[in-house]
Amino acid sequence: MASFNSRYRAILERNSTRLCIGLDSDVRNVPDALAGAADPLYEFNARIIDATSDLCCAYKLNLAFYESAGPEGMRSLERTLQRIPEGVLTIGDAKRGDIGNTAERYANSLLAHYNFDAVTVNPYMGMDTLAPFFAYEGRCVFVLALTSNPGSADFQRLQVDGTPIYMRVINRCMETYGATGSLGFVVGATHPGELADVRRHVGQDIALLIPGLGTQGGDAQATTAANDGGVAFFNVSRAIISAGKGADFADRAREAARAFVDQISENAGTTAL
Amino acid sequence: MASFNSRYRAILERNSTRLCIGLDSDVRNVPDALAGAADPLYEFNARIIDATSDLCCAYKLNLAFYESAGPEGMRSLERTLQRIPEGVLTIGDAKRGDIGNTAERYANSLLAHYNFDAVTVNPYMGMDTLAPFFAYEGRCVFVLALTSNPGSADFQRLQVDGTPIYMRVINRCMETYGATGSLGFVVGATHPGELADVRRHVGQDIALLIPGLGTQGGDAQATTAANDGGVAFFNVSRAIISAGKGADFADRAREAARAFVDQISENAGTTAL
């Protein structure tokens, strides 16, 4: 399989945007127009994907929203993945982390069974728990570093000998996996100063997954400037998929996605395509 | 619903053991005797449960092993949960952690859809990410503190002003959730010294989930002494469920479970039961 970054460059060349659309699709909130569908969660996603797949470089599927519907929700996830056009990348946002033989099963689930192009993982349990995810070629493993929520201050920012935990996570991962072509980090758009520090620290070719634009309040201009044109996925979820509640929800999603594409591209930095 | 600890005391009174059996059941490794079953993963679990449910206080289901089989694996999980006799507690070992609206969906999946009595959660993303799990009455939320794997040294043990991260996690959780009756912690059996410190620090009524006996090398005597008779689940997975590979695998599992029950009860501390 081609390297993850070469696949990223290919979709960037085609769709000219670093926008990633988060399919945090909530079966309780699908528009009434889909109420009679056999699989409303999938139908909702299919309409969103069809309306936006030329306006993003990736879709991020948040596993929680599928798991909460039980086995049927996982079928909706499978169907959704099949709907995403070839070339548009898929990120399984699952934030898994567990001991070796268990991590191997999580990696198998996400990177073999569901065949995501990328996943998010949680580093709290240590470096040995991340290894199985790096066994798959051509994928990206986004390690949680500094997340977008207020609680990121509770442990991620604690200082150990003058270095915050999230930067320790980044340093350990760079040492171990920096040369694999598969390492990425999650850094929230709500922290543009730290995002700029991380980008300088890891260089332009390490992929950053940057959630927090839109509903969570991250500023597109500050965020794109901080990223400085490096490999990045600017994720927006609710502000796109919940832009409309009526029968025209997919059109409203497209308009919202278009607006984010414009905000991001105006500030994508000098090394952007 | 009755409090989690009162349900724990009820099953302890009935089965007289703190043994928790981990159903890390791997569909690739089911004995040949089950190869023709319609749902081999479920059939394997059903035989193990039927052979051991009077020798444990809980079953811990490791979600990774079910997720790796896709939606069908989640059906096997549902069927397995239905097989566990009333009164024996169920722990959903999922180690989830995510921002508020996502955590709410994970909590819904584990504590409503699958209706586990307890779950494991990952604290890396902060206190706000744990809150939705505490919204369910009569359950236990086991927060990862010091895990059983070698990688637990990488971040959990880093010192912040003289206190390791895992103890900071414990302190923050005790402040916020210590009085809910729903707070527990994961502390590996591979660290008996730290386990004793944690038990003294949190008192006897905070539930500890203690993995690492058996294949991972934790010592039953040291571990039960360290726990000092507090509310605890001593988990053994592979050393029980993989004790036999032949048609008599369930009998071998029962023998192995019986041996662990004896090891644990000999050293359960003066305040047991």
**Closest B-chain CA to A22:** B102
Counting the structural domains of chain B, the total is: 1
Structure tokens of B200? 């003294």
Residue B271, in any domain of the structure: no
Instruction: Compute the C-alpha angle A14/A19/A25, nearest 5°.
Output: 115
Is A153 a residue whose pLDDT tops 80?
yes
Residue B17, in any domain of the structure: yes
**Domain span holding position A219:** 4-265
Residues of B in contact with A72 (CB under 8 A): 71
Round to whole Å and give the CA distance between B270 and A103.
37
CB contact under 8 A, B147 and A168: no
Question: Which sequence positions of A are flagged as catalytic?
Answer: 95
Q: Classify residue A53 as exposed, middle or buried by CB count within 10 Å of its CB (0-12, 13-18, 19+).
A: middle
Which residues, at least 6 apart from B14, have a Cβ–Cβ distance to it below 8 Å? B87
Round to whole Å and give the CA distance between B184 and B178.
9
- The predicted pLDDT at position B28 comes to 93
Q: In this structure, is the dihedral angle defined by the CA atoms of residues A182, A187, A192 and A193, taken in order, positive or negative?
A: negative
**Closest A-chain CA to B211:** A99
Q: Which of B83, B95, B157, B258 is catalytic?
A: B95
Residue A106, in any domain of the structure: yes
Specify the higher pLDDT residue, A166 or B215. A166
- The predicted pLDDT at position B268 comes to 53
Rounded mean pLDDT, B207-219: 91
Residues of A in contact with B158 (CB under 8 A): 160, 165, 168
Looking at every residue in chain B, the average pLDDT score rounds to 95
Round to whole Å and give the CA distance between A218 and A193.
12
Looking at every residue in chain A, the average pLDDT score rounds to 95
Q: Classify residue A203 as exposed, middle or buried by CB count within 10 Å of its CB (0-12, 13-18, 19+).
A: exposed
Chain centre distance of CA A191:
16
Q: Which of B25, B27, B39, B68 to mutate to test the interface with A (most CBs of A within 10 A)?
A: B68
Residues A167-208: tens digit of each pLDDT: 999 999 999 999 999 999 999 999 999 999 999 999 999 999
By Cβ distance, the residue of B24, B125, B160 closest to A151 is B125
Residue B218: band (very low, low, confident or very high) from pLDDT cuts 50, 70, 90: confident
Residue A211, in any domain of the structure: yes
Chain centre distance of CA B26:
17
Is A268 a residue whose pLDDT tops 70?
no
Structure tokens of A25? 């699709």
Residue A272: band (very low, low, confident or very high) from pLDDT cuts 50, 70, 90: very low
Round to whole Å and give the CA distance between A173 and A180.
11
Residues of A in contact with B119 (CB under 8 A): none
Q: Classify residue B193 as exposed, middle or buried by CB count within 10 Å of its CB (0-12, 13-18, 19+).
A: exposed
DSSP code string of A98-123: --HHHHHHHHIIIIIIS--SEEEE--
Name the H helices within B30-129: 40-52, 63-67, 70-83, 100-107
Residue B272, in any domain of the structure: no
Residue A14, in any domain of the structure: yes
Distances (CA, A) of B85 to A32, A236, B52, B136, B235: 41, 44, 11, 21, 18
Is B265 a residue whose pLDDT tops 90?
no
Residues B130-185: tens digit of each pLDDT: 999 999 999 999 999 999 999 999 999 999 999 999 999 999 999 999 999 999 99
Q: Tokens 């994961």 sit at which residue?
A: B186
How far B118 CA sits from the closest chain A CA (Å)? Answer: 16
Residues of A in contact with B62 (CB under 8 A): 98, 102, 105
Round to whole Å and give the CA distance between B134 and B172.
14
Residue B270: band (very low, low, confident or very high) from pLDDT cuts 50, 70, 90: very low
Q: How many CB pairs under 8 A join A and B?
A: 176
ipTM of the complex: 0.96
Residues A4-14: tens digit of each pLDDT: 999 999 999 99
**Closest B-chain CA to A129:** B151
* b/e sequence B9-47, b meaning 16+ C-beta within 10 Å: eebeeebbbbbbbbbbbbbeebbebbeeeebbbbbbbbb
- The predicted pLDDT at position B267 comes to 56
- The predicted pLDDT at position A266 comes to 62
Rounded mean pLDDT, B99-118: 97
CB contact under 8 A, A125 and B172: no
Helices (H) and strands (E) in chain B, counts: 10, 10
Assign residue A58 the CATH number of its domain. 3.20.20.70
Q: How large a percentage of chain B has pLDDT more than 90?
A: 94
Q: Which of A95, A133, A165, A176 to mutate to test the interface with B (most CBs of B within 10 A)?
A: A95
Would strands B183-187 and A58-62 be described as parallel, antiparallel, or unpaired? unpaired
Q: How large a percentage of chain A has pLDDT more than 70?
A: 97
Chain centre distance of CA A234:
8
Is A267 a residue whose pLDDT tops 90?
no
Strand extents, DSSP E, chain B: 19-23, 58-62, 89-96, 118-121, 140-146, 159-160, 163-164, 183-187, 207-210, 232-236
CB hemisphere CA count around B64 (13 angstroms): 23
